[in-house]
Amino acid sequence: MQNLKSEPLRELYPAIEPFNSGSLKVDDIHTLYFEEVGNKNGKPVVFLHGGPGGGISSDDRRYFDSNAYHVILFDQRGSGKSTPSASLERNTTWDLVDDIEKLRNHLNIDKWVVFGGSWGSTLALSYAIKHAERVKALVLRGIFTVRESELKWFYQEGASHIFPDIWHDYYHAIPEAERHDMMRAYHKRLTGTNQEDLHRCAKAWSKWECATSKLYVDPAHVAKAENDDWAVAFARIECHYFVNKGFFERDGWLLDNVDKIRHIPGVIVQGRYDLVCPAKTAWELSAKWPEAELKMIPDAGHSAREKSIASALLDATDKFRTL
């Protein structure tokens, strides 16, 4: 394990526009938005965004050397520019895994590097376990395996001890009689017919995550939660996945299946003070996958936008340019 100390930090690669973007109809309900960036003849890498429900942004293109990589980014079901927005129908982990394969085939890619952070790490691990023969390397950040202990930590009890002031609004959006199961109570409102409750709870849920995702609270990031469309898609889809425990057949399924990917080169980047996805999970993944390089970042929380985490991610993607 590398416990990285202070050293010169790298800046993200320059802003870049896609050389192609399009839509892929993956079933009779869902159509995915995707982008291609960088060198069309370069090493393929697919970017898996967080949430679920978060969607991609222009800065997500900048973790990769555009001269070396053919970067594919897409909005997962119900997220970003994919349609229908915020839809929960046929929206499970395994639907998303199938979508990744459909996109790979659509773009005539044989194998690719898979990059994912937070929920993206969950999806990357799920995809790699099911389709190891298609994965050249894994770059993971802020490890999340959707175990009950992880969900209870962030949405029910643990993280409130660190951010009690921010927790207050999230907690008090739910009537006292239902606070023994916050995720279930939010799910009731995020999937209900009362539009006022839907928007109020979507913003409270999203604000809680946005406010706690960096070591230092970033008001600009928290402000995203005020966007009704983004907050509804983000909160509805996250809550849907989490009350269903990620649609895994048992608690701990991902860690139990790590043996299937140990031959794949990997880098794990983890913020020491990540409250959303605490470092314990990354440590447990590393113990089961000792061949992977674990980079524990001592001055960061959860977000890929934090400078020391971004710098480590750049080093990781550069490492696999010539794989």
For residues 134 and 123, give the distance between their C-alpha atoms in angstroms, rounded to a whole number.
Answer: 14
- Map tokens 């915020």 to a residue: 86
| Torsions phi, psi for 51 (to 5 deg) | 120, -105
Q: Which amino acid is at 118?
A: S
Residues in the chain: 323
Query: Do 299 and 215 contact (CB within 8 A), yes or no?
Result: yes
Whole-number Å distance between alpha carbons of 72 and 262? 24
Say if CB 141 and CB 313 are below 8 A apart.
yes
Residues 6+ apart with CB under 8 A from 3: 296, 298
Q: Are 77 and 31 in contact (CB under 8 A)?
A: no
- Alpha-carbon distance of 144 to 277, in angstroms, equals 6
2-3 and 293-297 strand pairing = parallel
Dump strand ranges (E) for 151-277: 266-271
- Give me 270's structure tokens: 């983890």
Q: Give me the active site residues, please.
A: 118, 274, 302
Neighbour-count burial for 50-63, b at 16+ CB within 10 Å, e otherwise: bbbbbbbeeebbbb
Query: Which value, to the nearest 10 degrees, does the dihedral of the CA atoms of residues 304, 309, 311, 316 take?
Result: -90
Contact assessment for residue 114 and residue 135, using Cβ atoms and an 8 Å cutoff: yes
